[in-house]
Amino acid sequence: MRDSNREWVFAERPDGEPDMDSFELHESDVPEPEHGQVLVRVRYLSVDPYMRGRMRDAESYAEPWDVGDAMNGAVVGEVVESESDAYDTGDLVTGNGTWADYTVLDAGDVAPVDPTIADLPAYLGVLGMPGRTAYFGLLEVGEPNPGDTVVVSGAAGAVGSVVGQIAKLNGCRVVGSAGTDEKVEWVTDDLGFDAAINYRDVDDYRAALDDVAPDGVDVYFDNVGGPLTDAVFTKLNLDARVAVCGQIAHYNEEGVPTGPRKLPQLIAPRARVQGLLVSDFAPRFTEATEQLATWVASGDISHRETVVDGLENAPEAFLGLFSGDNIGKQVVGVSE
């Protein structure tokens, strides 16, 4: 065990695109767990787009960080000291901790990790919050029917890659959008999407969609926003559902962007546009995680994680989300 702890602290609110100025690595003593807590040696930590929202001093679904707060998010690790009857030293667990070598978790808020089902990083992706978001967002908000055309933006990301595969399991035609040819090939060749577009290569989104979604769009699962969303709105079928999961293309904007501009397009198809928050489905998280674990074990759902090694590189991994550096779920490898 190390004799000191390193922990990333939120150092400065970004203005627009965040950079390294927002992060500072602090060194301190390894924390001690109190009654009902466990000390965890972090093996992998998660970086997620919603953390950009926490850097903003504004009311939102996720509480803003104060400057000086430890960076915080989902982690997977090994219990090295336990003050709880529920966990022993050596147990593998996941919960919400800090970007650190060692982090203290309340035993009541952690879940056990079974490495025989999937490798540890998967518990931050397909078997973690992003997988549950895909599951509930698609099934409960998107309400896919067999034969529907489902369009997914951010298709090669943690949420989008799972959304597309669940849609395929539900008998849909699935079209993805992602930012590199490698991502397009992954979702079509390995994940079974029927088609995908590299949005960075496209000038005319509407024409590109005409090619890959000739029968229009029944479900749009939006992780991104921006011009692709404008184009999808012009192709919605009768009774279409739009699940607004994320709008990462807008997270670094400071002003309020104009729009949405395509609302007239919703009238004729009587389309429903609905935002979603994964936390609303907390009472059903076990159902989702069990189903996702079953699909992973049977090979019905493939998953991939992009690992950036080293706690010192955690900010870089977070910033990479906004330039599309990740395929599948972005995680940081903290210790062996």
Q: Which residues contribute to the site for ligand NAP (CB under 6 A)?
A: 48-50, 130, 133, 154, 156-160, 178-180, 183, 223-224, 226, 245-246, 248-249, 276-278, 321-322, 324, 326, 329-330
Q: Is 129 or 311 the residue whose CB approaches ligand FER more closely?
A: 129
129 binds ligand FER (CB under 6 A): yes
111 binds ligand FER per the rule CB under 6 A:
no
Which one of the spans 4-12, 32-40, 196-204, 274-282 is the region binding ligand FER (CB under 6 A)? 274-282
**Angle formed by the axes of helices 129-136 and 285-298, nearest 10°:** 100
| Minimum distance of ligand NAP from residue 34's CB (angstroms) | 30
Residue written as token pair 């849909």: 172
The one among 131, 154, 246, 328 contacting ligand FER by CB under 6 A? 246
Q: Which of 290, 284, 328, 77 is nearest to 187 (CA)?
A: 328
- Answer for the pair 225, 249: CB distance below 8 angstroms, yes or no: yes
CB nearer to ligand NAP: pick between 38 and 159: 159
How many residues at the interface with ligand FER, by CB under 6 A?
Answer: 9
CA dist 97 and 108 (Å) reads 13
Q: Which residues of 262-274 are buried (b: 16+ CB within 10 A; e: fewer)?
A: eeebbeebebebe
List binders of ligand FER among 188-227 (CB under 6 A): none
Counting contacts by CB under 6 A, is residue 278 touching ligand FER? yes
Q: Which of 17, 61, 63, 189 is in the footprint of ligand FER by CB under 6 A?
A: 61
Provide the total of helices (H) and of strands (E) in the chain, helices listed first.
8, 15
**226 touches which of ligand FER, ligand NAP, none (CB within 5 to 8 A by kind)?**
ligand NAP
Q: Shortest distance, CB of residue 125 to ligand NAP, whole angstroms?
A: 8
Structure tokens at 191: 């994940």
Closest by CA to 46, choosing from 159, 213, 152, 209, is 159
Segment contacting ligand FER (CB under 6 A): 6-14, 42-50, 264-272, 292-300? 42-50
Q: Which of 80/277 has CB closer to ligand FER?
A: 277
Strand partners, 98: 72
Binding of ligand FER by 274 (CB under 6 A):
no
- Within 176-278, residue ranges assigned H as helices are 181-185, 205-212, 227-233
Helix (H, G, I), strand (E, B) or coil at 218: strand
The one of ligand FER, ligand NAP, none whose footprint includes residue 157, by CB under 5 to 8 A per kind, is ligand NAP
Report the distance separating Cα 105 and Cα 135, nearest Å: 26
Q: How far is the CB of 222 from ligand FER (least distance, A)?
A: 11
Backbone phi, psi, residue 20, to 5°: -60, -20
Interatomic CA distance for residues 202 and 205, integer angstroms? 6
Applying CB under 6 A, among 89, 274, 279, 294 the residue interacting with ligand FER is 279
Q: By CB under 6 A, tell whether 252 contacts ligand FER.
A: no
Taking alpha carbons only, the member of 75, 70, 74, 77 closest to residue 50 is 74
- Please say which residue, 21 or 201, places its beta carbon nearer to ligand NAP: 201
Residues that bind ligand FER in the complex, under the rule CB under 6 A: 48-50, 61, 129, 246, 277-279
